Structure 1
Amino acid sequence: MKNKSRLFTAALAAALMATTLSWAPVHASEGGLKSLRGAAIQAPETESADPFKTMKDSAPIERDYVQQPPLIPHKVEGYNVTMKYNKCMDCHSWTRYKETGATKVSLTHFKTRDGQELSNISPRRYFCQQCHVPQVDAKPLVANKFKPAEGIR
């Protein structure tokens, strides 16, 4: 039984490697960009060397739907978030938010998935950028016709 599972694993790995090696990305110099379905697409025009300029500190950005995690209205490059230290809490903690003028961490971040209240941020909410992302000033890659529901606002 062990030999069969080893043989199956080896065959699966070989098949995956063969598939990966046979795939070759399409470069712009070879006739342009193509979508996954093969349609030709135009690369977005960029106005600067950095197409994803992060917005500078600004007012909180309006949310588009209920329960949307707030977007980060400032740069977060180099922010250190480890098991022992979270740079975001330097400004957004309940003890510092008034002093820094930042939005305080929501009470929901102090609850376990079972609803138990904790004295510190829940481990599942500790790594901020798993839900909160920085807002960038970039042209959309695809058209977006999203409109928030009027009745919920």
Structure 2
Amino acid sequence: MYLSFLSHLILPFLFVWNQVQYSELIGSWQLTYFDGIENIVKSADYQNASSAQRANMDAKIKYRLESTVYQFVEGDTLKFIDFVNQTVVQKAAKVELKDGEILVIHEEDQDRLAKIVELTPQKLVLLPISATSKSGKMVFERIPEKK
């Protein structure tokens, strides 16, 4: 009973302590790993491709990673690169944090949600939340500010 009482007393403090603050996200983040890309590399299409086809796919994967930068700006704005019909497009969207761990990106035509799985000063791990697909986790590294 004593442990039960203590857990009811301590758990709420741990929950509040683990909540992400928007100020921790401010800055630029480069995508370095994405489970969806890992699935492509493990696919039969990739594995059975010729060396030239595989090199082409590798170049596209590298370009996708290098082009995916999230820039969280003071206030509530996220600037990011998106691919529309295989064309790179710069976008901006309003963002909010729900329950200290759910990132909501309010785009023109839809809201995208992602759970913040991990956040350190140098690393951000997001798990997109979607009813239609399981795209896997996205790992970002902070881009140092230029001085």
Name the TM-score class by shorter chain. Answer: under 0.3
Structure number with higher relative contact order (C-alpha < 8 Å, ≥ 6 residues apart): 2
Give the structure with the higher percent strand: 2
Larger radius of gyration: 1
